Structure 1
Amino acid sequence: MSDALLVIDMQEAYVGEHRFPYLKYSMPDLLTTVNGVIDAYADEKRLIVYIRNVMERSLLSRLSPFKVYEDTLESKLVEGLHVASNHVFVKHAGDAFSNPQLHAFLKENNVDSVKIVGVDGGGCVALTALGAIEHGYHVVVDEPAIGTTFERSKRKHFRKLKELGAEFV
């Protein structure tokens, strides 16, 4: 079996130069750190998967103060991110495993462990880590390569992840 790197929501809307104003990720430090993890995986020819969060067009999403629709600048992977594979999956919910194609792809590639980096530690990163555990994966959370705006939620989710056996580095 093998492991895979999941790069969560490193998109223009969340970490780009014109990201939504309430997001507090330290750029370029986060991008540099995430790129370092990506480069290490690429150098070892290990599996790298990128996850993009995209809203479905609906009446409710039109009322949202910010929008991340497919084929918009906001939905694209952030400029400067090292893209070392063409394995990109879209999700419409916090947990990347809400897209069943991700789990199928990882199983096809005999993945039994995932390392998670990206944003947000109090949202999609934590929810994806919980989803990975529910699907039977060993989870490694690379804390220095995770941006967090929602600190209280991160603490709660990370406590739960530790209880469930996630590894933190």
Structure 2
Amino acid sequence: MPVFWSLTGLAVLVVLVVLGVCLYCGYCLRRLGRPTRGKMIDPVSRPNSALVVIDVQEDFTRNTGKHAYAPQARDLALAAINREISAAREVGMEVIFVRNVFRDWPVILAMKLSAGGIGTPGREGLKFDRTLDVGSSPVFEKSIGDSFSCPDFEIFLAERKVGRLILTGLDACHCVQLIAKGALARGYDVEIREPATLTTAPENWAALKEGLRTAGAVLA
């Protein structure tokens, strides 16, 4: 009888551990694809604009796997992003770069199993694309889709009195639209420069685009 109860207790413990791991994995994956929530800003006190360049890293732009961007589309988008950067700097607009590094171990495991580990810590491909002129612009790191998940990003916008975000980068169907939703929910004006974005799922972008327009975003 004691052996039976010991085995039963061990089985229950294993089930609870497995259940806990599954719940944590599910939480991490859901968090990855959800916009964040935050306090509303006062637009009157935020007269400035900022260009945000999202996740334009070589793990993604130079990927040759099944989720790779078409080279011609990539090169056109990179050229458009660089034009946006130059134009913003010419008028004294803030230019902000956002880098994605997956930090939750379930996401790291999923990326290693399904995508060769792109976007995971320690990789050379985490650097920004070789064509970008990052210069001395501020760089913020996130580990989920919405850049507002990085507290320093939001603090920087407040310090610079930024109330309007111009979004470029990738992927339009993922991180770009998530930061757009996170910004709109906080009261920012949002503009997405569509030629300066990339997506591996153009068939999904049309519907997402209409939803963003309905929510108040401008698509230029």
TM-score in terms of structure 1 length: 0.91
2:209 & 2:151 partners in 1: Cα distance? 24
> How has the CA–CA distance of structure 1 residues 30 and 121 changed in structure 2, closer, same or farther, with 3 Å as cutoff?
same
> How has the CA–CA distance of structure 1 residues 49 and 71 changed in structure 2, closer, same or farther, with 3 Å as cutoff?
farther
- Structure with greater strand percent: 1
Alignment of 1:35 with 2:86, yes or no, is no
Please tell me whether the aligned partners of residues 52 and 97 of structure 2 are also in contact (alpha carbons under 8 angstroms).
yes
Please tell me whether the aligned partners of residues 34 and 117 of structure 1 are also in contact (alpha carbons under 8 angstroms).
yes
Comparing 154-163 with 60-69, greater Cα deviation is found at 60-69
2:210 & 2:100 partners in 1: Cα distance? 24
Comparing 136-145 with 76-85, greater Cα deviation is found at 76-85
Alignment of 1:103 with 2:154, yes or no, is yes
Find the partner of 2:209 among 149, 158, 168. 158
Please tell me whether the aligned partners of residues 8 and 117 of structure 1 are also in contact (alpha carbons under 8 angstroms).
yes
User: Which runs of 5 or more structure 1 residues have no equivalent in the other structure?
Assistant: none
1:90 & 1:100 partners in 2: Cα distance? 10
Aligned partner of 1:149 in structure 2 is: 200
User: Which runs of 5 or more structure 2 residues have no equivalent in the other structure?
Assistant: 1-46
Question: Aligned letter for 1:51?
Answer: V
Deviation string for 1:43-80 (max 9, x for gaps)?
A: 11210100111111525522422322244212110111
Deviation string for 1:88-125 (max 9, x for gaps)?
A: 11111111112122111101100000000011111111
Question: Aligned letter for 1:102?
Answer: F
Please tell me whether the aligned partners of residues 74 and 198 of structure 2 are also in contact (alpha carbons under 8 angstroms).
no
1:132 & 1:85 partners in 2: Cα distance? 24
Please tell me whether the aligned partners of residues 126 and 154 of structure 1 are also in contact (alpha carbons under 8 angstroms).
no
Please tell me whether the aligned partners of residues 123 and 150 of structure 1 are also in contact (alpha carbons under 8 angstroms).
no
Alignment of 1:47 with 2:94, yes or no, is yes
1:84 & 1:113 partners in 2: Cα distance? 22
Matches within 5 A, 1:15-164: 15-16=61-62, 18-25=63-70, 26-56=73-103, 58-64=105-111, 65-66=114-115, 67=117, 68-164=119-215
Aligned partner of 2:34 in structure 1 is: none
Percent identity of equivalent pairs: 29
Comparing 111-120 with 50-59, greater Cα deviation is found at 50-59
Alignment of 1:12 with 2:40, yes or no, is no
Please tell me whether the aligned partners of residues 9 and 51 of structure 1 are also in contact (alpha carbons under 8 angstroms).
yes
Comparing 151-160 with 42-51, greater Cα deviation is found at 151-160
Please tell me whether the aligned partners of residues 57 and 129 of structure 2 are also in contact (alpha carbons under 8 angstroms).
yes
